[in-house]
Amino acid sequence: MLETHKTSIFKSTLTMAYRNLLKTLHNPDKLLDVVIQPILFMLLFGYLFSGAIAGNVYAYLPTLVPGILMQSLISAATGSGTQISDDFSTGIFNRLKTLPIPQVAPLAGQLLADILRLLIAATVSLTTGYLMGWRPAAGLGWAILVVILDVFLGWALSWIFALYGLFAKSSTMVESISLMTMLLLVFLSNAFVPVKTLPPFMKILVELNPVSYVINASRTILNAGFWPTSAWIVLGAGIVIISIFAPLTVLVYKRK
Amino acid sequence: MKTAPAIAIQTLSKKFGQQTAVDRVSFNVEVGEVFALLGPNGAGKTTILRMLTTLLKPTSGTIQVLGHNLQSESQAVRSLFGLAGQYASVDEDLTARENLQTFSLLNGLTFREARLRTQELLEEFSLINSADKLLATFSGGMRRRLDLSISLIARPKIIFLDEPTTGLDPRTREQMWKTIRQLVQAGTTVILTTQYLEEADQLADHIALIDHGKLVALGTPQALKEKIASKKLNLTFQNELQATQAVQAIAEATNGIVQQTDNMVNVSFNEVDDITKILTNLQVAKLSANDIQIKQPSLDDVFFAMTVGKN
Ligand SMILES: Nc1ncnc2c1ncn2[C@@H]1O[C@H](COP(=O)(O)OP(=O)(O)O)[C@@H](O)[C@H]1O
Ligand SMILES: [Mg+2]
């Protein structure tokens, strides 16, 4: 009998995540969106719009920081779609599929590496806020809890973008559609502006936007220091998204 | 006990919607040989290879790899073969060494083994001097070599090469041929696809001629040449007028194909007796050729005879 072997899901997934890390190390510009973008947005909104919206920077930061946090996480989540689409067009996935590894490992590795991107985006956002004078009223512990909640939700969203990456024709297309989705979701939310200043019709749109809901939950935790019902709902939504989109993405991936 | 063939496929078919890309193809590849799938662009070669390497599910038919059923044992069977695709699928954002290392790990090697194997392959494929450069600086030939070396990490028993020399300059192609011959000497079974008859003739022990998804001929290069036993007669006349008249006289003497270009007439025929008849007819018509050549068929002739007018 001929000797055949299989590489474990654990080892193959870690190797794939490691590959992703190497790629990022060689091309630090892949981190631009998770490093430069949050800094830029934080500075721009903090110093440019704070006067108009809240009177001064300090008054605006408690509103702004959770908004920028979510905005950079959604932006980071779109990256998985671009990367997956890229790997398909270069034929790497074909090669991976002929290896004695579990079929889902490349996808799992990608999504594992995405957690790192999300954590970087979250850290940069909050650190920039801190340097600008933001202090979480409820303390560091609650801030970390918010990061965990939002990163989890961002990770759930990256499954949706991963699925889109599998369907799209080119990674450039994934990039532009993702950017548009991100801008719409974030700007039509309460990320940067208080809802009460909006005209009635916009108010409805913004309140329907799930991103507003997440940001509200984050603000409550950061400012009041307790875990509201809305945070449970956000957590639940993340679980629902993952339990729908993870199997779906894996299925589509396997059939490609 | 008889050893199982490297590959055994039975009435393998693949449909893409309405289109039949591969149509009831059957053949065996013996252990240790070079087997060439020869055919024009769009014939279905890559599709067959993709099915053999578990990348594509056949619409119908069975595939056995070294006695293992491909459908029921696909993950395990993948450790028996390596694939180098039609387009080098290497990681552009990594160095050659990192490419080899990550794929070594994925092939189940430990970190230490992966490092050693990587070094070994970098040396074997003359990539050691560029080992730590990003692939952006690599030439087409270097990419192909890296691609092939990645497919060889696990020392597979069988290696699939999809058009391994397409787009390579003659010198790099020679190198690739040499590498393939070395692989065979080391006991690897090689299945390659090619559009070049010369390549199949040079490398292969057996050739499967594929056209429009169908297996149109199967055999050794020699047998294929003999199968189309058609010989060629080339006659050169004084001028075009004489050649035109000769076409008439020759057509009456043979069932073969008669073609005229300027003052030359080419005849393809099967019966050696036809030569006598043709020459007699020419004499009766008072036409004499300046030059007469008889040609044995080349593999090109086989190729064109079997795929003519279809592509
Ligand atoms: N994924 C696919 N979907 C639809 N048609 C395909 C697909 N892959 C190949 N084909 C078609 O199948 C035929 C054979 O293609 P292929 O196997 O790539 O040929 P070759 O490798 O011999 O050039 C072509 O007509 C091609 O258009
Ligand atoms: Mg092809």
With tokens 């279905």, the residue in question is: B44
Domain boundary among B179, B196, B219: B219
pLDDT greater than 90 at residue B17 = yes
Residue B101 is assigned to a structural domain of this protein: no
Longest dimension (CA), chain A: 78
The pLDDT profile of chain A, 256 residues, written as one tens digit per residue, is 455 678 889 999 999 999 999 998 898 888 888 899 999 999 999 988 888 887 888 889 998 999 999 999 999 999 888 888 888 887 788 888 888 888 889 899 999 999 999 999 999 999 999 999 999 988 999 999 999 999 999 999 999 999 999 988 888 888 898 889 988 999 889 888 888 888 888 888 888 898 999 999 999 999 889 999 999 999 999 999 999 999 999 999 887 7
Residue B250 is assigned to a structural domain of this protein: yes
Note whether B7 and B70 are within 8 A (CB).
no
Q: What is the CATH number of the domain that holds B202?
A: 3.40.50.300
Residue B146 is assigned to a structural domain of this protein: no
Question: pLDDT digit string (tens) for B271-296?
Answer: 777 888 888 888 888 888 888 888 76
Using alpha carbons only, give the angle B73, B75, B80 rounded to the nearest 5 degrees: 90
Q: What is the CATH number of the domain that holds B283?
A: 3.30.70.980
Phi/psi at B191 (5° precision): -120, 120
B7 and B75 inside one domain: yes
B213 and B265 inside one domain: no
| pLDDT for the residue B311 | 43
B243 and B203 inside one domain: no
Is residue B21 within 6 Å of ligand 1 at its C-beta? yes
- B293's enclosing H/E stretch is strand B291-295
| pLDDT for the residue A1 | 42
Phi/psi at B242 (5° precision): -60, -40
Residue B259 is assigned to a structural domain of this protein: yes
What angle do the packed helices B170-185 and B140-151 form, to 10 degrees?
Answer: 10
**Segment 38-97 of chain A within 8 Å of chain B by CB:** 90-92, 94-97
| pLDDT for the residue B309 | 47
Is residue B189 within 6 Å of ligand 1 at its C-beta? no
Domain boundary among B179, B198, B219: B219
Note whether B78 and B85 are within 8 A (CB).
no
Mean pLDDT of all residues belonging to chain B: 88
What does the block give as tokens for A100?
Answer: 């004695």
B6 and B76 inside one domain: yes
Residue B168 is assigned to a structural domain of this protein: no
What does the block give as tokens for B284?
Answer: 């009766």
What interface predicted TM-score (ipTM) does this complex get?
Answer: 0.81
Higher pLDDT, B232 or B50: B50
B195 and B236 inside one domain: no
Domain boundary among B171, B196, B219: B219
B73 and B6 inside one domain: yes
The domain in which residue B234 lies consists of 227-302
* Cα–Cα distance for residue pair B77/B214, rounded to 1 Å: 26
B269 and B211 inside one domain: no
Residues with a beta carbon under 5 angstroms from ion ligand 2: B 46
Residue B73 is assigned to a structural domain of this protein: yes
| DSSP codes joined into one string, B160-195 | EEESTTTT--HHHHHHHHHHHHHHHHTT-EEEEEES
What is the rounded end-to-end Cα distance, in angstroms, of chain A? 32
Tell me the pLDDT band of B102, cut-offs 50, 70 and 90: very high
* Cα–Cα distance for residue pair B121/B200, rounded to 1 Å: 26
- Per the structure, the count of domains in chain B is 2
| pLDDT for the residue B226 | 67
B256 and B202 inside one domain: no
B243 and B287 inside one domain: yes
B202 and B277 inside one domain: no
Tell me the pLDDT band of B75, cut-offs 50, 70 and 90: confident
Counting beta carbons within 10 angstroms of the beta carbon of residue B93, is it exposed (0 to 12), middle (13 to 18) or buried (19 or more)? buried
Report for A27-36, B83-92, B147-156: range of highest mean pLDDT: B147-156
B71 and B2 inside one domain: yes
According to DSSP, the β-strands at B7-16 and B60-65 are antiparallel
With tokens 């980071």, the residue in question is: A76
Question: Given CB atoms, is B78 within the 8 Å cutoff of chain A?
Answer: yes
Residue B27 is assigned to a structural domain of this protein: yes
Residue B55 is assigned to a structural domain of this protein: yes
Give the global pTM.
0.76
Distance from CA of A224 to the nearest CA of B (A): 46
Note whether B50 and A95 are within 8 A (CB).
no
* Cα–Cα distance for residue pair A36/A29, rounded to 1 Å: 10
Q: Residue B37 CA: which ligand 1 atom is closest?
A: 22
**B14, B46, B163: residue to mutate for ligand 1 pocket, most atoms within 8 A of CB:** B46
